[in-house]
Amino acid sequence: MTRILSGIQPSGSLHIGNYLAMMKPMIALQDDNELYCFIVNYHALTSLSDPEKLKKNTMDAAIDFLALGLDPEKANFWIQSDLPEVQELTWILSCNTSLGLLERSHSYKDKIAKGLTPNAGLYTYPVLMAADILLFQAEKVPVGKDQKQHLEITRDIASSFNANFGETFVLPEPVIEDNLAVIPGVDGQKMSKSYDNTICMFEEEKKMRKRIMKIVTDSRGVDEPKDPDKCTVFSLYKLFASDEQIDSLRNAYLAGGMGYGDAKQLLFEVIRDYFKPFKEKRDQLAADPQKVKDIMLMGAAKTRIKARETLSLVREKVGLKYF
């Protein structure tokens, strides 16, 4: 059994890009691996300062995962802040991390370049992420391309800690699906919680349809032939439709006579139908927040055993166990 770990920020509502790239593959790994999957609300604090939004996004993310098939009996599934032990490891690792390493962080530099006034949390974000990973001695960490450097920083921190204090941490391997398509949002850019261009799987039907109708296309009229490979509607359709449906829409594009409005309607239908069975489960969970809270607290309690084990070893190594 391989120990696999990954987390997702509740910085907005989770969307079909998150589902296909992270949630679905993680859920598929729960049967044959020791899976650690969590909602990183401490990380979200670096960019979100609205407590009501953070609470709602965190609960929603937990409900989404459970509805989509994450099984808390099989996996370790928890909310980051329910295991504050990670903060102790963050501190210990911070004292073993050079400023130079953090200064080289692309994501930090990018955020400053975008005009964000950085807080200290944004700067030390990679140390918290390293603590997330090392606390559970994760062997494999599936992440998107943008997280590659964070994994390198984690490995740097772990290997220098091991060199200074003796073999302590497993060096985690990133698992980066290079050929995983970037899923486009309604504006054609990468779909992202931070760009207001998402399609959320559990959006109310009318709103989801409206959102899909907003997808930007070129200005070809109904009768004109269209290029399926340059169309956001078609790229999204391919992710949810059957081979037959895909061929049929491709042919309709090439032949002309089909407007983008009709294609968007077809896209809406396949997405709605794909998530329909999950939505029923989601509605049940959403109606019983106490149950969800209990599941998440149980998840944290179960995961705490591994966290304490690592923390106890680390405390001993650095001299915090003083007798």
- Structure-token match 């200005």, residue found: 219
CB of 256 to ligand ADP, least distance (A): 30
CB of 23 to ligand ADP, least distance (A): 8
| Contact residue for ligand TRP among 60, 64, 85, 132 (CB under 6 A) | 132
Q: Is 198 in the site for ligand TRP (CB under 6 A)?
A: no
Closer to ligand TRP at the Cβ: 8 or 231? Answer: 8
Q: Is 89 in the site for ligand TRP (CB under 6 A)?
A: no
**CA dist., res. 64 & res. 27, Å (int):** 12
Three-state DSSP class for residue 175: strand
The verdict on whether 114 is a catalytic residue reads no
Closer to ligand ADP at the Cβ: 270 or 314? Answer: 270
Read off the amino acid at residue 17: G
Closer to ligand ADP at the Cβ: 17 or 72? Answer: 17
CB of 145 to ligand ADP, least distance (A): 7
Q: Is 147 in the site for ligand TRP (CB under 6 A)?
A: yes
The verdict on whether 293 is a catalytic residue reads no
Q: Is 191 in the site for ligand ADP (CB under 6 A)?
A: yes
CB of 8 to ligand TRP, least distance (A): 6
Helix (H) or strand (E) segment spanning residue 224: none
Q: What burial class does residue 9 get, using C-beta atoms within 10 Å of its C-beta: 0-12 exposed, 13-18 middle, 19+ buried?
A: buried
Q: Is 21 in the site for ligand ADP (CB under 6 A)?
A: yes
Q: Is 4 in the site for ligand ADP (CB under 6 A)?
A: no
**CA dist., res. 286 & res. 314, Å (int):** 39
Closest CA to 1 of 103, 115, 138: 138
Which region among 65-73, 129-137, 196-204, 285-293 touches ligand TRP (by CB under 6 A)? 129-137
CB of 301 to ligand ADP, least distance (A): 26
Q: Measured at CB, which residue is nearest to ligand ADP?
A: 144
The verdict on whether 74 is a catalytic residue reads no
Instruction: Give me the helices (H) in the chain, please.
Output: 16-18, 24-29, 41-44, 51-67, 85-94, 99-103, 106-113, 120-134, 148-165, 205-213, 232-240, 243-255, 260-286, 289-318
Q: Is 40 in the site for ligand TRP (CB under 6 A)?
A: yes
Site string for ligand ADP, 115-154 (x = CB under 6 A): ----------------------------xx----------
Q: What burial class does residue 32 get, using C-beta atoms within 10 Å of its C-beta: 0-12 exposed, 13-18 middle, 19+ buried?
A: exposed
Q: Catalytic pick from 53, 74, 140, 190?
A: 190
Closer to ligand TRP at the Cβ: 150 or 279? Answer: 150
Q: Is 129 in the site for ligand TRP (CB under 6 A)?
A: yes
User: What is the per-residue DSSP string for 89-151?
Assistant: HHHHHHTTS-HHHHHT-HHHHHHHHTT----HHHHHHHHHHHHHHHTTT-SEEE--GGGHHHH
Q: Which residues contact 172 (CB under 8 A, 6 or more apart)?
A: 5, 133, 134, 138, 139, 140, 141, 151, 154, 155, 158
| Contact residue for ligand TRP among 3, 4, 7, 75 (CB under 6 A) | 7
Which region among 14-22, 49-57, 61-69, 247-255 touches ligand ADP (by CB under 6 A)? 14-22
CB neighbourhood size of 147 (10 A):
18
Cβ–Cβ < 8 Å for 88, 103: no
Active site residues: 111, 190, 193
Question: What are the residues binding ligand ADP (CB under 6 A)?
Answer: 8-9, 11, 17-18, 21-22, 143-144, 182-183, 190-194
